Amino acid sequence: MMTKFYNNLKTALLLGSLTGLVMFIGHLIGGQTGVLIALVMAGVMNFVAYFFSDKMAIASVGAHEVGPDHPLYRITAQLAQRANMPMPRVYVSPQPAPNAFATGRNPNNAAVCATEGLLRMLDSNEVAGVMAHELAHVKHRDILISTIAATIAGAISYLGYMIMFSPSSGGDDEEGGSAFGPLGAILAMLLAPIAAALIQMAISRSREFNADKAGAEICGNPMYLATALEKIHMMAARVPMQVNPAYNALMIAEPRSMMRSIGNLFATHPPLEKRLMNLIGAETTGAFHAPGGLR
For the annotated catalytic residues, the residue numbers are 134
Beta carbons of 225 and 219 less than 8 angstroms apart: yes
Strand runs labelled E in the chain: 64-66, 89-93, 100-104, 110-115
Cβ neighbours of residue 115 closer than 8 Å, sequence gap 6 or more: 61, 92, 93, 94, 95, 96, 97, 98, 99, 100, 241
List the end-to-end C-alpha distance of the chain, in Å, as a whole number: 36
Burial zone of 293 (CB within 10 Å; 0-12 exposed, 13-18 middle, 19+ buried): exposed
CA 50 to chain centre: 13
Contact 28, 188 (CB under 8 A): yes
Q: Contact 236/223 with Cβ under 8 angstroms?
A: no
Q: What separation in angstroms does the CA of 193 have from each of 20, 61, 123?
A: 13, 28, 42
Q: Rounded to whole angstroms, how far apart are CA atoms 227 and 276?
A: 9
Task: For residue 112, list its beta bridge partners.
Answer: 90, 102
